[in-house]
Amino acid sequence: MIEIGKTQDLVIDHISKIGPYLADPAKPEKTILLPGKETPENAKAGDTVKAFVYRDSSDRPIATLRHPKIELGEIRPLKVVAVTKIGAFMDWGLEKDLFLPFHEQTASVQVGRDYLVYLYLDKTGRLCATMKVYNELKSESPYHVGDWVEGYVYQINPELGAFLAVDNQYHGLIPRKEMNEEIHCGQRIKARVSELRKRDGKMTLSPNKQSYKSISKDARHLYSRLTAAGGALPFNDKTPPAVIKKEFDMSKAAFKRAIGHLLRERKIVLTPGGMKSTKTGK
C-alpha cells in the first residue's frame, strides 16, 4: 500500500512521456507519477526507488525522490515562508510548501522564524502541520535532575509558563517564575532539569544557573545597591517582577533568593515599604 507522507520503496511499473509511474510491489494495480524531471538516469521498469509520497497543487498523490524535512508522525522545526488569510506555509524541502492552518497555531507566527510542528493527515487526507504537539510528546526521558537539555518552545501559557519539546520528543516546562527573559514560540532554549515530576516523569526546567551558584552573586549585587542608596531601598518581596527586572536585571525568583540570603545573614530587614540595612535600619 502506498502511504501518503512516508518515504518508501516503490517499483517503476512503466515509464510514460511525463515520467515513471511507481507502484507498491505488494499491490501493483495502483500507481502514482514520479515527475519526469526527477527520473533517475537509465531508469527502467522493474527498478526500485526510494520515494516520498505527498499531494501536488491539484491534490493528486505524487512521488518525489527529494528528502523532506519532516514525515508523517514526526515533530520537527520548520521555517515559515508565508502567512496568508487562510494560514501559514512552511518550508519542508519540497516544491509545494506545507500548510499550517490558523486553528493549528498556538501563537501568531512570523515569516522567517522556525516553529516546532507535527505532521498529520487532515480529514480530507491532506498533509498539514500543527503546533499542537503536546499529545505527541513522551513523558519519561533519559535525563536526570541537573542535566542540561535543549528544546523548542511550542506554546506559552501565561499562568503556567513555557512548554518545551526537549529533543523534539519529551515533555518540558519552564515555570512562569523562571521566565526571566522574553521567550517566544519557536525559540530554541537550553535549560537545566530542575525537577522530574513523580506522577508522570515530565521535566520541570530552568534556563538559569543552579540557584545555589547564583545566590551569592545576586545577594552581593543587591546589598551593593542597598549600601549605595544609603541603607534603604523601596523594594521587597512584594515588588512586581517587571520592576525587579528593570531595576536589578534579575528574575523575581532570583531576587527573592537574594533577599533570603541577606535575611539569613541578618544584613537586612524588610519593611512594608521596602528593605533596610541592619547597620542603619535599627
Per-residue pLDDT for 215 more than 70?
no
Residue 169 falls within a domain, yes or no? yes
Q: What range does the domain containing 243 cover?
A: 212-281
User: pLDDT by residue (tens digit) across 43-58?
Assistant: 899 999 999 999 988 8
User: pLDDT by residue (tens digit) across 175-187?
Assistant: 988 886 678 899 9
Mean pLDDT of the chain: 90
Among residues 16, 33, 64, the one where a domain terminates is: 64
pTM (2 d.p.): 0.72
CATH number of the domain that 122 lies in? 2.40.50.140
Among residues 134, 166, 185, the one where a domain terminates is: 134
198 and 247 both lie in a single domain:
no
253 and 275 both lie in a single domain:
yes
User: pLDDT by residue (tens digit) across 117-138?
Assistant: 999 999 988 999 999 999 999 9
| pLDDT the model gives residue 70 | 98
Q: Residue 231 corresponds to which cell in the numbers above?
A: 541603607
One-letter amino acid of 128: C
SS3 state at 142 = coil
Provide the number of structural domains found in the chain: 4
What average pLDDT score do residues 88-102 get? 96
Contact 180, 225 (CB under 8 A): no
| pLDDT the model gives residue 77 | 97
Give the span between the Cα atoms of 15 and 18, in whole angstroms: 8
How many Cβ atoms are within 10 Å of 139's Cβ, its own excluded? 13
Q: Which residues contact 175 (CB under 8 A, 6 or more apart)?
A: 160, 161, 204
114 and 156 both lie in a single domain:
no
89 and 128 both lie in a single domain:
yes
